[in-house]
Structure 1
Amino acid sequence: MQDVADILDRQLLDDWQRDFPIVSKPFAELAKTLGTSEAEVLERLTALRNEGRITRVGATCAPNTLSASTLAAVAAPEGRVEEVAAIINQEPGVNHSYERENHWNLWFVATGSDRDAVDNLLDRIAQRTGLRVMDLRLRQPFNIDLGFKMTSGGAPICHPAKRTADPSAIVEGDKALMNILSIGMPLASEPYAVIANQLRRKEEDVMGRIKTLSNAGILSRLGVIVRHRTLGWKSNAMVVWNLPQDRVAAAGKQLAALPGITLCYERRPVPDVWPYRLYCMIHAQSREDALEVLTKAEVLPDLQNVDHEVLFSTRCFRQKGAVIDTAKEVPA
């Protein structure tokens, strides 16, 4: 893990990855808890962002609520990996993309305003690369909210899925608001007022909608979003398990509860190509640490002797907040 020697930087990274204050001057609120000034907090967060230690201060959105998304993969031939990765990353709707150790070696998350937009994005990538694109749609999450603590002994902090998001809470204008929060809120003394001005709304209305979306599980986390690879979690493995549909729920709950498993969810298999339904992520500081967690997973009651593949990430091509299509909602 990269050493974060400065105590104030470490506290900002540790204590504010979630539950960020929804008050007029949130950074002043952080300053109170840290015993420093608002200006110091803003200066340090700006520096952490510029250094690449955090991606933003902002929000994550529950999947397939305000927008649509999917995990996808292509098998790029040797010699074309960087070319194909560049084509994938030309799409604004791609917010994460990685090279992994597998025949299907380029993996990315595709987002769009709705399912048709995601399908069109995948079709464009297939046409431009000449490669088949696997579409691995989310079926159910077991653990999809992750944090990284500098003072936790090097262990990521995961938050099991506790509730189902309530899309009935969404009203007109929420997409435009969440788009700004997903990209990153302004590092200014009164960020919600700045956002309200951008949207031609009132500050209290913006803060009220953020609280409502959070309570409804649409906004899944508001806070400092760290760049985990830069901070030392570089040995990251996606493990996929080949289980029949009727065994996924029990195995997923066991897997999500295992220390060291940082993400866990069920995805739709692709017949005759990719039979795996259950996915988990292990974020670790070394390959040995990741494999140690995997060894513990392999002996869980519902995963013993289950066929699985381990796909270590070798390169990160993109990591940013999801862009939500707001063309119909942003004021002209």
Structure 2
Amino acid sequence: MLVLIILVVILALCFDFTNGFHDTANAIATSVSTRALSPRVAVVLAGGMNLIGALTFTGVAKTIGGSIANPLKVQHGTIVVLAAIVAAIGWNLLTWRLGIPSSSSHALIGALSGAVIGAAGFHAINYSGFLSIIEALVISPIAALILGYIIMWIFRLLFGSRSLHRVNRPFRYLQMITAGVQAFMHGTNDAQKTMGIITFALIAGGFQSTMNIPFWVKLVCAVAMGCGTATGGWRIIKTVGSKIIRIEPINGFASDLTSSIIIFGFTLLKLPVSSTHVISSAIMGTGAAKRFNQVHWGVAGRIVVAWLITIPISGCIAAILVRLFLI
């Protein structure tokens, strides 16, 4: 059991690392594409702020670790977590290789749910907790789309009569701030998910009895995500930063502000969201407010399809893996 726990922790940190370069790329995509920050500075800033954010909150971790299933009631819980992490890492790497900004959050939640079902059956899922997580994942990008549209519409009213060059200059400086804020918010939510799944494994393995997140778990998860961020995620940055709309500093700032508000709001509610979904939806909302046909809806549709298939595919992969591991 101790060997299994060590393996789970190592693989969970590998997932956190892939989450760092996969999802955090979204947090700095707009500031890099508008040249508010150089790629090197943006990556270092995002890595540091991610680390701080990850150490600040634990509410989302407790939700992930205890709401999908009760780790004390799931047989072979450690193997369940092992299968879930392997499935989530595989999906992360595949979508990163293809440059698709799919959700690491969806991958992990889908994989954990699928692994629980594969090992213990559908009755082992805590459906009230699972549905509350799904609701947060569905509502948050819709809220980001609407709020992004509203914020950009207000900016158009305030600055529409001014020269675009004069307007963009101060917003380019403001983006230096919002890039760091957005990376911090990413850490407060996304890093918590790996903390939760490691704690799930610790409880299932009999190493602790409560969902209190040990400090060492918080620390290693925060460092892993920060290191992942420092490696960059240029394929994802290219898709989010240039292929959805042509981003200028004013709508880049509006997008960053929108996604920061949405992510932090759900963090305070102790609910996980997909930073990928939120940031991409915020960009779509601000682009639609500026000029509806400016949004590359074909690329946006491809992103939405990736969102829809991530949970079922990662769940099926994890269910198959857990059955193989239990043979």
TM-score using structure 2 length: 0.27
Which structure has more relative contact order (CA 8 Å, sep 6+)? It is 2
Query: When you count strand as a share of all residues, which structure comes out higher?
Result: 1
Query: When you count helix as a share of all residues, which structure comes out higher?
Result: 2
